[in-house]
A and B are shown apart, each in its own frame.
Chain A
Amino acid sequence: MNDGAPTDVDVVARVLGGDGEAFGILIRRYEPGLLRFATRMLGNSDAAADAVAESLVRAYRHLAQCRDPAHLRSWLYRITGNRCRSHLARRRTSDISLSDAPPLADATDTWGILERGEQVALVERALAALPAEKREAFVLKHVEGMSYEEMAAATGARIPTLKMRVHRAREALLAALEELV
């Protein structure tokens, strides 16, 4: 963070010092990525909003336990990943299944964009069909742009395990994309 904005370490210190409003800085900083991540995990933007809101509230409540504010981003993704898994566990017993969740692609696009929308929908469906752990690994690696070290901090899994999950996810997605041809 080199644009004059306060660092995560600074903001965390302010919040723990009693300036709860400063937590808004962290929300604005990480909300887009967390929402994108949760949406890809849950396949539903409303559920993603619930998961991210719950996660950020939990992060605020337990901010004193964030042992390394310099790696706040991994910590926030870890909380959100856990929250998404809780939602998925509950969803297995709920009325709405992942296959019923509407895709995010906008179906009112023009013809040229519609083809891309179809592809996005296909990718989203292929992603939704992956087991949660592989889906999470692929999204963190290729959508959130994390290194394997960051992913290990965010998930608690070992790097070789994460690599295997990402590799398997790529194979499944590539197979799905080849069906579009």
Chain B
Amino acid sequence: MMAMSPIDPQLQDVLDGERDPATLSPDQREAYARLITAAESLQQAPRLSVADRVMAAIRAMPPVPSREPASRRLWRWLARPRAVTVRLRPAWTLALAAALGAVVLLPSEPSGPGTSFPIPGDREGVAQFVGHFPGARSVEVVGSFNDWSRGMLSLRDDNGDGIWHGAAVLPAGQHEYMFVVDGERWVADPLAGRYVDDGFGIGRENSVLIVRPSRGAVTSDGAGESR
């Protein structure tokens, strides 16, 4: 590691544009010139462009949302309890369900005696998914909670207003997911608020969801909250 000597504060002030270079001593002027020349040598712009690539990605996206934050519009929808709720387990416990061909969907509202919602366990929570995809024919959620399998958590747009919704009981903890629109377009959830690069080098991000335990049980690793 090369030895560094502190630079005279006067020189720092000149380099910060807070003092006239004419006030520098000859030695300081030489150092000033070296640094300025070095900085200028770094100003060569690379001879490449990402414009085509970016515009191609943009054209493949849904339209940019209007100025009203989507969360505000969707929050109005969320006031209505119309979630379709499913219970999801890691795939290795769903082997039998897979053999049966589908995860059972439950009605969003009790329709009579004996009908009930799935109740999250102590180390589970409920996640609701909402997406604004006007004109879409189908929207599903694919993620780590369903082994990135297709056809397991489909959202619904009951009144055709372009707002797709669904819910799932998930294990507490971190999950990554994306929406798949019309069976082919992978889209990060714009409302997730939390993203991570998917690590495959093509610029796609997964949405990150952290599910809290529904009952706040204190777990052995302290991840829950006590009541």
Do A and B pair up? The answer is yes
Q: Is the CB of B7 within 8 A of A31?
A: no
Report chain A residues within 8 Å CB of B42: 36, 40, 120, 123-124, 127, 139, 142-143
Report chain A residues within 8 Å CB of B203: 50, 53-54, 57
Q: With the chains together, A176 CA to B5 CA distance in Å?
A: 11
Report chain A residues within 8 Å CB of B45: 32-33, 35-36
Chain B's nearest CB lies how many Å from the CB of A130?
Answer: 11
Q: Does B89 touch A at the CB level, under 8 Å?
A: no
Report chain B residues within 8 Å CB of A70: none
Q: Is the CB of B51 within 8 A of A24?
A: yes
Q: Is the CB of B41 within 8 A of A123?
A: yes
Q: Is the CB of B2 within 8 A of A175?
A: yes
Chain B's nearest CB lies how many Å from the CB of A100?
Answer: 18
With contacts A167-B12, A173-B35, A174-B7 known, is A64 near B67, CB below 8 A? yes
Q: Is the CB of B41 within 8 A of A36?
A: no
Q: With the chains together, A168 CA to B15 CA distance in Å?
A: 13
Q: Is the CB of B12 within 8 A of A170?
A: yes
Q: Is the CB of A36 within 8 A of B44?
A: yes
Q: Is the CB of B63 within 8 A of A18?
A: yes
Q: Does B96 touch A at the CB level, under 8 Å?
A: no
> Chain B interface secondary structure, helix, strand, loop or mixed?
loop
Q: Does B50 touch A at the CB level, under 8 Å?
A: yes
Chain A's nearest CB lies how many Å from the CB of B63?
Answer: 6
Q: Is the CB of A53 within 8 A of B63?
A: no
Chain B's nearest CB lies how many Å from the CB of A149?
Answer: 12
Contact-residue size bin, chain B (C-beta under 8 Å from the other chain): 35 or more
With contacts A20-B63, A64-B69 known, is A116 near B4, CB below 8 A? no
Q: With the chains together, A8 CA to B59 CA distance in Å?
A: 20
Chain A's nearest CB lies how many Å from the CB of B39?
Answer: 4
Report chain B residues within 8 Å CB of A173: 35, 38
In this complex, which of B39, B59, B65 has the most chain A Cβ atoms within 10 angstroms of its Cβ? B39
Task: Out of B36, B53, B64, name the residue touching A63 (CB < 8 Å).
Answer: B64
Task: Out of B2, B53, B61, name the residue touching A172 (CB < 8 Å).
Answer: B2
With contacts A53-B53, A119-B41 known, is A171 near B7, CB below 8 A? yes
Report chain A residues within 8 Å CB of B58: 20, 23, 57, 60
Report chain A residues within 8 Å CB of B69: 64
Q: Is the CB of A56 within 8 A of B54?
A: yes
Q: With the chains together, A150 CA to B53 CA distance in Å?
A: 28
The residue in chain B whose Cβ has the minimal distance to the Cβ of A32 is B45
Q: Is the CB of A57 within 8 A of B57?
A: yes
Q: Is the CB of B46 within 8 A of A45?
A: yes
Q: Does A155 touch B at the CB level, under 8 Å?
A: no
Report chain A residues within 8 Å CB of B105: none
Q: With the chains together, A53 CA to B55 CA distance in Å?
A: 9
Report chain A residues within 8 Å CB of B67: 16, 64
Q: Is the CB of B41 within 8 A of A39?
A: no
The residue in chain A whose Cβ has the minimal distance to the Cβ of B1 is A129
Q: Is the CB of A116 within 8 A of B41?
A: yes
CB-defined interface of A62-74 with B at 8 Å, one 1/0 digit per residue?
Answer: 1110000000000
A selection of 6 A-B contacts at a CB cut-off of 8 Å is A53-B50, A53-B57, A56-B54, A62-B190, A123-B41, A142-B36
Q: A20-B61, A139-B42, A142-B15 are in contact. List 11 more A-B contacts (CB 8 A).
A: A24-B51, A24-B55, A35-B45, A35-B49, A36-B43, A50-B201, A62-B190, A63-B64, A64-B64, A170-B15, A171-B5
